[in-house]
Amino acid sequence: AQKITQTQPGMFVQEKEAVTLDCTYDTSDQSYGLFWYKQPSSGEMIFLIYQGSYDEQNATEGRYSLNFQKARKSANLVISASQLGDSAMYFCAMREGRGYSTLTFGKGTMLLVSP
Amino acid sequence: DTGVSQDPRHKITKRGQNVTFRCDPISEHNRLYWYRQTLGQGPEFLTYFQNEAQLEKSRLLSDRFSAERPKGSFSTLEIQRTEQGDSAMYLCASSPRGGPNNEQFFGPGTRLTVL
């Protein structure tokens, strides 16, 4: 089974609108972390937001927020007020267990923001 | 610039040749990771170092691949007898010990094309 599932290969949104990128995960660990990264065409992975499994509140970072629904094992990224520079690939990733751990990534969602 | 750096950014080689990539992590980060990303996929874990010790290797890391981090600072990833299937983006990431969420900071990647 896929550990991280991103069901939207591509999403379109108009500038200034909000958009939600879906992510579901699969783990039997009680302690885990969920990450969202942005990858522009240049290739570099840019960290956006983190949610720990024990965090009771949804994470927020500026225009990014993470809609964490633990029982449903979903960690959707919400981008408010989209900007043209938001056009990129977006990856959801999971770290299982405490301490160091490698990241398992989903296949990504391509977001295109139009004027 | 104090981020993760990788060299070269692009490498084109003929099948059967050996290639070596270098990664310089953020200076105070003792953890270093290598990932491989093929077209249309998210990054996949290859190997992990804590200081100079290689603590984890993925099954993706065949015998033709070797990674080192001799002094616990920069790391090299060598691929011997390259194959066309090795064509991918090779990403390096680093993280500090004891970071609040073990966020990994990624470099710009080395794009390998095997002809």
Per-residue pLDDT tens digits for A5-21 = 999 999 999 999 999 99
Res. B71: pLDDT tops 60: yes
pLDDT, average across residues B53-68: 90
pLDDT, average across residues B62-72: 92
Flag if B91 and A45 touch (Cβ within 8 Å): yes
The listed range with the strongest mean pLDDT (A51-60, A84-93, B23-32, B101-110) is A84-93
Q: Dig out the tokens for A89 from the structure.
A: 């690939």
**Looking at chain A from residue 8 to 37, which residues have their Cβ under 8 Å from any Cβ of chain B?**
33, 35, 37
pLDDT, average across residues A83-97: 94
Res. A100: pLDDT tops 70: no
Does residue A89 sit in helix, strand or coil? strand
User: Among A52, A108, A88, which Cα is nearest to B44's?
Assistant: A108
Cα–Cα distance, B32 to B69 (Å, whole number): 9
Flag if B108 and A104 touch (Cβ within 8 Å): no
Interacting residues of B53 by C-beta distance below 8 A, sequence separation 6+: none
Cα–Cα distance, A51 to A67 (Å, whole number): 9
Cα–Cα distance, A23 to A109 (Å, whole number): 10
- Cα–chain center distance at B25: 10
